[in-house]
Homo-oligomer: A and B are copies of this chain.
């Protein structure tokens, strides 16, 4: 029986940053987490305390930060949401890359696995349509060109 913890957006941000840093730099340092999230170093210290209490991350004072298996799983789920959303915004809706990334960051905490799963399917469907000679994304872009856009953040 696995408890599906409801993680706060903040906690999700932290574990996502830690996972990304670990992938990029091999090891996540508190300082870099602070820089990546744009928060004070002391905020990271506080968050790490919480992450340890939740069993998501380990770190001894002045040591490196490591995600527990549970923390890794949670982090990968967040990263996956982020990637799926960014891909949908960019590849299907035609949003510019950096804006798609930003929007994905904000939205990734709000959507559950059902919607994300469906979005994966949808992205795959759009990709498959491309190979069948009927490119949905392309058609949509054509469609947009024929009508005034409302876009603007």
Footprint of B on A, CB under 8 Å? Answer: 89, 92-95, 99, 103, 106-107, 109-115, 117-122, 124-125, 128-129, 134, 136, 139-140, 143-144, 147, 149-153
Contact = CB atoms under 8 A, between A and B. Distances in A.
A3 to B, nearest CB: 15
12 contacts: A89-B118, A103-B110, A107-B107, A109-B110, A113-B150, A113-B153, A114-B151, A117-B152, A118-B151, A121-B149, A124-B147, A134-B134
A124 B109 CA distance: 27
B112 A153 contact: yes
Given A95-B114, A107-B110, A115-B89, A140 B153 contact: no
Contacts of A92: 122
B118 A111 contact: no
Contact of A118 (B94, B106, B112, B124): B94
A115 B103 contact: yes
- The list of the 9 closest CB pairs from A to B, nearest first, reads A117-B150, A112-B153, A106-B110, A107-B110, A93-B118, A114-B153, A125-B143, A114-B151, A117-B151
A139 B103 CA distance: 27
A120 B150 contact: yes
Contacts of A125: 139-140, 143-144
Residue among A109, A114, A128, A153 with the most chain B CB within 10 A?
A114
A121 B106 contact: no
A142 to B, nearest CB: 9
